Structure 1
Amino acid sequence: MNRFAATTLLLLGLLLAGPGYAQQPADKETPAADTKPRKLSRKERKELARRAEVDAARQQVRELSEKDREMSESFFVEGVKYVLLEDYNKGLERLLKAYALNPTNAAINYKIAETNLLSGNLKDATNFAQVAVKLDPKNAYYYLLLAQIYSSQKQYDQAAKVYTSLIRDVPDSGYYLFNLADLYMAQGKLNEALTTFEQAEKQFGPLDEVSFKKQQIYLKQNNLDKALQEGEALIASNPDEIRYVLAQAEMYATNNRFPDAIRVAEKALKQDPDNPQARMILADIYRQQNNKPESDKQIKLAFESPALDVDEKVRILVDYIKQLPNPALEKIALDLADITTRIHPKEAKAFSVAGDIQTITEHKEQARDNYLKAIRLDNTKFQIWQQVVLIDAELNQIDSLLRHTDRALELFPNQAPLWYYNGVAQLLKKQPVKGVKALEYGRKLSTDNPELLAQIDTQLGDAYHELKEYAKSDAAYEAALTFDANNAQALNNYSYFLSMRGEKLEKAKEMAGKLVKQFPTNDTYLDTYAWVLYKLKDYTGARQNLEKALKTSSDATIIEHYGDVLFQLGEKELAMAEWQKAKKAGGASALIDRKIKDKKLYE
């Protein structure tokens, strides 16, 4: 037998003999050979498996040369540097080089896992973190990283197992019970969370935050009594901590335990007489009990407190806006708006929301004043400028409308509505050239807003008529009516101006007749229709419509028209009487004095 074969047989013999023992013949009298081996418990099997994994990992350890060790450490440090700079690709490249030289280094595996997590590679992050834990099962940070990786993948059961292992295997890790309990809460495993919190309390004693979280769990479980017990315990152990008192009052109120809620809220007010949250709780309770005077009193007191954030006040006021107009709520809403602007005089949003409430409740001038105050504090909100302009137009305050649109257009030159109202103001100020310029600019900006475009076209029809550019005037009215064939202003003005020019009278009659059919008692439309009929020499028809109009109107133009019709019908004395009425009313045509003086019709 050669030397190699002899050596091989010797090694095989040692392996077969088993480590440290020589083979012996079995003792025939020993009953152990017939005895069945005891089954291992599940816990023992898991522990053996864990030890086997650790042993397997440790068997990979090989002695590094000094050079390899230095290179590995160098790559590791450089990799960590790149990770801190958030260059994860370069960081991972260096860390993997360190790993290739020293794969059983727990810190290297941990850092590779962390880098993969940061770069979104959760699969590799999981694998390396698991190895780090196996290589160094007493390092809490490795467990925490692995739990975080599992949580990132929504593998909450796995994360919970990691925390459980951490708490069991790493000394002085009991405080991670709180992490585990929070994880259970996030999963909705409320019973497990409660049990874990109770373990934490046994280890660390009663803790306020634990009690608070247990209270939240009891609420989710609809166990109101337990939740209230925890709340009372929190108050008893923290008599100066008002947040627990307020939370308890809120809980009582939410569950319609109003006497208890009032008792606890008033307890909070004894500690802090100006506490706005306690006042809000009381206001809500009294509201639900239909005690409006007390509810209004409490909410006003809450609003008087600067401690109630202006954003919270605005949110409450917006809730009121959603319920307006409502006579039962108008006064309290207006009062709260006034308080808000007084307590927060440097907050644009306070004046803005006050303006909104005053607008809805028809306090237009006060609303505009508050909007303007909001603009002085912050002029960047187009919606507030728009509200100011709309109120100017509604109040027919042309000078204000012109002034405010001019200022707003300096800030918002691309807002078509501002050009529209500026153009209207110019027309009303008898400046049709400027009006046309503004309206035409607004028209270019309104291509995506056909409704506004139609309004602009209607005003352009009026403006071009004033400038005697009749073809442009007619085209503008036609454009407006193409969008809305029932546009009352376009129908009325277009037909009236045609009648004054004596052109397209049948078309004018059709448009004016359509209006009168829709609005049979509108004196302006009746006058327009009558004047079209007058131009068509249908004096009887004109008389009938003017007499309907005069039932509700004392307008000088309508009275004068009526006199003209009577004159054409040969009733000259009656015509004179109507002309004199028109002159007395004020606002008749420039021809009224000649008509009266000469007792003759001038057109």
Structure 2
Amino acid sequence: MIKYWLYIRIGLVFLAGSTITVAQEIEPTMDINVDDLGNVSDEFQENFFEALKQKAITNYEKAIDALDKCIALDAKPLYLYSELGKNYLELKQYDQAVVNFTKVLDDKPNDRYLLELLYEVYFKQRKYKEAAEVIEKLVVFDITYKEQLANLYYLENRYDEALVIVDNLIDELGSDQYRMQLRKKITQKISNPDSQIARLEKKIKENPKEEQNYLNLIYLYSQDNQEAKAYKIAKELLDKKPKSKLVHLALYKFYLDDKKTDDAIKSMKIALSSKELEAEPKYKVINDFLSFVDQNPSYEGELMEVVKQFSDTSENSKIFTEIGNYFSKKNKKELALDFYERGIKDNVTNFNVLRKMLLLQLDLKRYEKAKEGSELAIEIYPSQPILYLIHGVSLINLNSPDDAIDILSLGMDYVIDDVKMESDFYDQIGEAYLKKGDVVKATEYKEKSTQLKEKS
């Protein structure tokens, strides 16, 4: 029995010259035994199983030779062409693969296994029109193939059709992050949204309580710079579904533009409290909130109230980092450090945030934290001299001057064409020797530091 491929989800980066990858399960083998071959000669059987053996050890050319011998003996069995197609596919001889798969499909047009193989061939050739025609047949087996179909329509610039497919899929199976991102990317490509607007207006009329149709229409109007209409639809949705949280993702912007500040703040809070709101839109709301508070500092308390809702999870790390940047600009060091520390937990590879956090820890005399953090950071960024400098300063203040001298001396090897930093290293080595009570060495390094400062 054929074991069909599991459902394939295509990951696409929708950019000019984008890379396309296909994530899929390893192709299962067809279980063929002697009884499946039908009434064939011993020589036919011998060649056929030789073909399977050669294919199993990736000798695809030899497998094809053996199959050709089978065809010379009896050209009727369709499984010969299926096997030929698979071997040509492995050899990337796609045209030959298509010829052989098509021979089987002419007789068995609804063979799902062969349709999936043919789809793979067309996709690898970037023949998206032909791939779409195959997927259209596969949809009857599994509705989730509509995701591939929408992607293929997108690649063919058939944006309206792609959007209809995605919306139908969401109606039938519900939304998830992938489908909503796919929908957004398709919508951004639509240059004339009139037909989609008309379609959504009709869907709202038919089902006035379906929230997603309103949200989609708001987005389309906004994309088309029809802000007044988008605002009107948002208010209609709020009227129909007063408990909706996602509508506030649009409303807060309209309220800000309308100078309804208190309503805007209220909408921001509601939107950010929604468990349905994903990380990226939440991040955007916070950025807008920070921009607003920057211009209106009296609302900083509202910002802090909103932030209390956020747990220290990886999806919120970017949000905490942005809030840290905000307080850092305001020179509110304690608050900035608190948010950087919350944001860095799942963002340790962000060097700029790491550096800001460690420097603030030094500035606020959190020497133990600065020591531990810089030690870990050096493992990630072993050629960044600032990390050695921070580590050394921490050790000096924790009464470990010998260790400080060692780490500072090591860090100096990474200072290149930076007189000020080199001077700082000499200065801190001098401080370490002072801590040891070695005034002669301390003076020597302090003088080197002074000389470099004078040069710069």
TM range (shorter): 0.5 to 0.7
Return the match for 2:42 from 43, 55, 67. 67
What pairs up with 1:89-488 in 2 under 5 angstroms?
89-90=58-59, 93-94=62-63, 96-102=65-71, 103-118=75-90, 120-133=92-105, 136=107, 138-139=109-110, 141=112, 142=114, 145-146=117-118, 148-156=120-128, 183=152, 185-188=154-157, 222-270=191-239, 272-310=241-279, 312-317=281-286, 327-328=294-295, 330=297, 335-336=302-303, 338-345=305-312, 349=317, 351-372=320-341, 386-395=355-364, 397=365, 400=366, 402-408=367-373, 411-412=376-377, 414=379, 417-424=386-393, 434-435=400-401, 437-450=403-416, 451=418, 452-464=421-433, 467-470=437-440, 473-474=443-444, 477-478=447-448, 481-482=451-452, 485-486=454-455
Shift of 1:269: 3.6
Mark the runs of 5 or more structure 1 residues left unpaired by the alignment.
Answer: 1-62, 199-204, 488-603
Shift of 1:388: 4.3
CA distance in 1: counterparts of 2:354 and 2:149, whole angstroms: 54
SS at match of 1:246: helix
Greater shift in the superposed pair: 177-186 or 341-350: 177-186
Shift of 1:106: 2.7
SS at match of 2:309: helix
SS at match of 1:277: coil
CA distance in 2: counterparts of 1:410 and 1:206, whole angstroms: 50
Superposed CA offset, 1:286-313 (max 9, x none)? 3344444432321122112233234543
CA distance in 2: counterparts of 1:418 and 1:218, whole angstroms: 45
Quick check: 1:252–1:261 contact (8 Å CA) kept in 2? yes
Instruction: State the Cα RMSD in Å.
Output: 4.9
What pairs up with 1:587-602 in 2 under 5 angstroms?
none
Structure 2: which amino acid aligns with 1:356? Answer: N
SS at match of 2:246: helix
Quick check: 2:312–2:342 contact (8 Å CA) kept in 1? no
CA distance in 2: counterparts of 1:91 and 1:227, whole angstroms: 49
CA distance in 2: counterparts of 1:385 and 1:156, whole angstroms: 45
Structure 1: which amino acid aligns with 2:373? Answer: A
Larger RCO, structure (CA 8 Å, separation 6 or more) = 2
Shift of 1:157: 5.5
CA distance in 2: counterparts of 1:152 and 1:184, whole angstroms: 16
User: When the two structures are aligned, how many residues end up with a matched partner?
Assistant: 389
C-alpha distance 143-412 of structure 1, shift in aligned 2 (>3 A): closer
Superposed CA offset, 1:363-407 (max 9, x none)? 2223334445567x6696786664444224434x4xx3x322343
Larger radius of gyration: 1
Superposed CA offset, 1:187-227 (max 9, x none)? 22569x69xx99xxxxxx99968xx9999999856433322
TM-score, normalization by structure 2: 0.65
CA distance in 2: counterparts of 1:144 and 1:249, whole angstroms: 38
C-alpha distance 155-219 of structure 1, shift in aligned 2 (>3 A): same
